[in-house]
């Protein structure tokens, strides 16, 4: 039995960093062991991947100047400048610089 593996990179999101901070606080106070924190983070990887796949419906598009691209270890990284991001409701946001880290959808947690 091979349990599906989940990407860990969502830990870099705001919800992920706030969880890591919270776990660090509890570890610092010696209320939990780092091993337990790792299990919680593994749960986070799974829950986040599943929820993103199953319950999010929004779409967006973006246009900009590709400043840097990289493909390494099956991960695409783009730095895009002067980006215009358009959401579902036609509202747009412009940002000077935007970074995308994208993992291969084929190896995601889904079996």
Partner 1 sequence: MSNKECSELYERIIEDVIAESRQDFEDGGIDEQTLMDLKRIWRDKLSKTGVASFSWDLKRQQYDESSNLLGLGDDQISSQTYQEQFNPTGSDANSGLHIQGLHLPQSDLALPTNSMKQEDDLGGMNIALPGGGRIGQSDGTVTFTVEGKQAEELARKLRRTQTDGQGDLGDDGNELGSDLGVDSDEINSDLDDPDDDEINSADDNEDQEYNIMLCLYDRVQRVKNKWKCNLKDGIANIDGRDYAFQKATGESEW
> Site residues for partner 1, window 9-68 (CB under 8 A)?
9-10, 12-15, 17-23, 25-26, 29, 31-33, 35-36, 39-40, 43-44, 46-49, 51-53, 55-68
In Å, how far from its chain's centre is CA 58? 16
Residue with tokens 């990284």: 77
* Number of residues near partner 1 (by CB under 8 A): 75
The reply to whether 2 sits near partner 1 by the rule CB under 8 A is: no
Q: Which is nearer to partner 1, 1 or 75 (CB)?
A: 75
Which residues have a Cβ under 8 Å from the Cβ of 27 and sit 6 or more positions away? 33, 34, 37
Examine residue 5 and tell whether it contacts partner 1 (CB under 8 A). no
Min dist. Cβ of residue 1 to partner 1 (A): 19
Question: For residue 89, what is the enclosing H or E element?
Answer: none
Residue choice 1, 3, 73, 91 for contact with partner 1 (CB under 8 A) = 91
The DSSP call for residue 5 is: P
Could you tell me the maximum CA-CA distance found in the chain, to the nearest angstrom?
A: 49
Distance CA 51, CA 34 (A): 25
- Residue 102 contacts partner 1 per CB under 8 A: yes
Under the criterion CB under 8 A, does residue 69 sit at the interface with partner 1? yes
Question: Which DSSP helix (H) or strand (E) runs through 11?
Answer: none
């Amino acid at each position: 039995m091979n349990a599906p593996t989940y990407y860990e990179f969502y830990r870099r999101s705001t919800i992920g960093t706030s969880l890591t901070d919270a776990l660090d606080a509890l570890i610092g106070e010696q209320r939990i062991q780092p091993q337990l924190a790792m299990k919680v983070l593994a749960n986070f990887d799974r829950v986040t991947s599943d929820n993103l796949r199953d319950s999010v419906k929004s779409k967006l598009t973006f246009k900009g100047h590709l400043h840097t691209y990289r493909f390494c270890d099956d991960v695409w990284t783009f730095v895009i400048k002067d980006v215009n991001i358009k959401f579902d409701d036609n509202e747009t946001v412009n940002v000077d610089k935007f970074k995308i880290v994208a993992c291969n959808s084929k190896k995601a947690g889904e079996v």
